[in-house]
Amino acid sequence: MNAQRPVCIAGAGSIGCFVGGMLAVTGRPVSLLARPRVVDGIARHGLELTSFEGGRWQLSAEQVNPSDDPAIIKDAGIVIVAVKSGDTAAMAGLIARYAAADAAIVSLQNGVGNVAILKRALPGHRVLGGMVPFNVVTQDDGTVHRATSGALVIERDSDDTAARLTATDLPVQSTGNIAGVQWGKLLVNLSNALNALSDLPLHAQLQQRAWRLLFADQMAEGLAVLRAAGISPIAATAIPPWLTPHLLRLPDGIFGPILRRVMKIDINARSSMWEDLQRGRPTEIDYLQGVILQLANQHGVATPLSRRVIEMVKAAEAARCGSPALSAQQIRDL
């Protein structure tokens, strides 16, 4: 594969703009397939990226080639799918229409079902799963900000696509078990909804034991469901999934130093689901807690907390008033 063929970000929202922008910083040809609002913003002001570590990068529109025309997919050697899970099938149709036969397709999406959707729609393509461990939000001024640490993980393949996508300040690892990695990330992402319902920065939320206990109970519920389904998750952090709920339940004075060792979090970091509620967009709750609830029903496992969180997020979506700013106890009691 010609390394000079562009990497096309198919669905350049917060994650897609950050990943595509960091590749462009190194001089890699990049194109961003995005909504007209995003395209217009980059055309007017360029693309500014920042990170919690203090990094700041300003890119011109010419460096990332934003467009709302899906025909830009045709020149790409690698297509990174970064749309919300509910938009995967529609994006797969566009890729099937425009992508070159030898283009690699990489899913950098939340949830565990997107790769299967892409493979069904793209039988002639090499489709690879991926996992984004870090949090990215688009701030009110249009700056795309990475707020937590971690390296991308991409399914290992013969072309070493993971290495091809590695860039300065964008480390990428490969794995032979991307399904396990994605299930591990899904467990961690169960906290997205709790953060969205709280209206608190993630760092502040993790300082409060009441919220950590709720995080722990939510994750323990998910772990019980995966055990019943015979699914073995792989940790998205240095802490094994089975151990995480126990650590979350520790007193503040013990938990704080452990968190600082395994993850760096910007004091203003919030979940993408919080951002969706604030902007009046549909969330991915059906692809996170919804998947746990579906498996729980299949295997006869009780998941009252997952069911309640789904109801609360859907109510907040319908209200279109942003986060309801609930307390941990309100989520337990409602």
Kindly report, residue by residue over 181-224, the tens digit of the pLDDT.
999 999 999 999 999 999 999 999 999 999 999 999 999 999 99
Fold of 180-333: N-(1-d-carboxylethyl)-l-norvaline Dehydrogenase; domain 2 (1.10.1040)
The CA distance from 12 to 9, in Å, is 6
Percent of residues, the chain, with pLDDT higher than 70: 99
Distance CA 177, CA 180 (A): 6
State pLDDT tens for residues 9-45: 999 999 999 999 999 999 999 999 999 999 999 999 9
Nearest to 48 by CA among 143, 190, 115, 119: 143
Structure tokens given for 224 = 């019980």
Cα 99–Cα 136–Cα 103 angle in degrees, nearest 5:
15
Distance of alpha carbon 47 from its chain centroid, rounded? 20
Point out the least confidently predicted range of 208-222, 223-237, 259-273. Answer: 259-273
Query: H or E segment at 195?
Result: helix 178-198
pLDDT in tens, 294-305: 999 999 999 999
**Rounded Cα–Cα distance for residues 166 and 162 (Å):** 6
- Is the pLDDT reported for residue 256 higher than 50? yes
Write down the CATH superfamily of domain 7-176: NAD(P)-binding Rossmann-like Domain (3.40.50.720)
Kindly state the average pLDDT of the residues 75-95.
Answer: 97
Single pTM value for the model = 0.94
Look at the chain and count its residues.
334
Look at residue 1 and tell me whether its pLDDT is greater than 60.
no
The residue ranges of every structural domain in the chain are 7-176, 180-333
Contact status, residue 211 vs residue 257, Cβ threshold 8 Å: no
